C-alpha cells in the first residue's frame, strides 16, 4: 500500500481563508482551472513549469474580474464616467468600468458598507458604514480615505 505525503502547498488566494472547491484540467493539459469557496475562478498555466521545483509559488490568474462573494448592499452610477461602484456584505467596495466590463479597483474594510455614492465629478466616493460616513478619493490605482 502506497502512502502519500504532502510535499508542497500552493495558495490560490493567500491570507483570505478561501478553500479550493474544485479542480479541472483542460483537455490539452495546459491549464488547470480552480474554483474557490469565495466563488472566484482562477487558472494556472502548466506549460513549462515544474511546480515541485519552483522556488516561488506559481501565479493563479483570475479568469474573470473578482466579484462580491455575498449580497451587494449599495450601488451607484457615475454621471461623467463609465463607472459603477458597489459595496457588499463581503466588506469590500468595488469600482467597475461598464464599457470594459472590468473591476477597476477594490478596497476592503473591517466592517460592511451599507451604502455608497459617487460625487458628480467621479473623483470621490462617500461610503456609509454602521457608525460613520467615509469620504474616499479615487486615484489612478487606488481608493484613499480622505475623511472618516
Q: Is the pLDDT of residue 96 over 80?
A: yes
Burial class for 97, CB neighbours closer than 10 Å (0-12, 13-18, 19+)? middle
The pLDDT score that the predictor gives to residue 84 is 93
The pLDDT-based confidence of 48 (bands split at 50, 70, 90) is confident
Which residue spans within 14-80 are E strands per DSSP?
A: 20-25, 31-36, 41-45, 61-62, 72-77
Assign residue 70 a region: left if phi > 0, alpha if psi is -120 to 50, beta otherwise?
beta
Taking the alpha carbons of 122, 118, 94, 15 in that order, is the dihedral positive or negative? positive
In this prediction the pTM is: 0.65
Of the listed ranges 26-35, 56-65, 96-105, the least confidently predicted one is 56-65
* Helix extents (H) in the chain: none
The three three-digit cell numbers of residue 95, written as one number: 469600482
Residue range 128-139, pLDDT digits in tens: 999 999 999 999
The CA distance from 145 to 126, in Å, is 10
Q: Is the pLDDT of residue 53 over 90?
A: no
The pLDDT score that the predictor gives to residue 54 is 66
Amino acid at each position: 500500500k502506497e502512502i502519500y505525503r504532502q510535499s508542497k502547498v500552493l495558495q490560490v488566494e493567500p491570507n483570505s481563508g478561501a478553500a479550493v472547491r474544485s479542480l479541472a484540467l483542460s483537455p490539452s493539459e495546459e491549464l488547470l482551472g480552480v474554483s474557490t469557496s469565495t466563488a472566484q475562478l482562477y487558472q494556472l498555466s502548466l506549460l513549462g513549469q515544474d511546480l515541485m521545483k519552483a522556488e516561488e509559488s506559481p501565479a493563479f490568474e483570475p479568469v474573470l474580474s473578482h466579484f462580491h462573494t455575498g449580497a451587494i448592499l449599495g450601488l451607484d452610477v457615475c454621471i461623467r464616467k463609465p463607472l459603477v461602484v458597489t459595496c457588499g456584505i463581503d466588506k469590500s467596495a468595488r469600482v467597475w468600468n461598464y464599457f470594459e466590463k472590468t473591476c477597476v479597483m477594490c478596497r476592503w474594510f473591517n466592517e460592511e458598507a451599507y451604502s455608497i455614492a459617487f460625487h458628480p465629478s467621479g473623483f470621490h466616493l462617500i461610503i456609509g458604514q454602521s457608525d460613520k460616513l467615509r469620504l474616499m478619493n479615487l486615484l489612478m490605482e487606488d481608493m484613499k480615505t480622505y475623511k472618516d
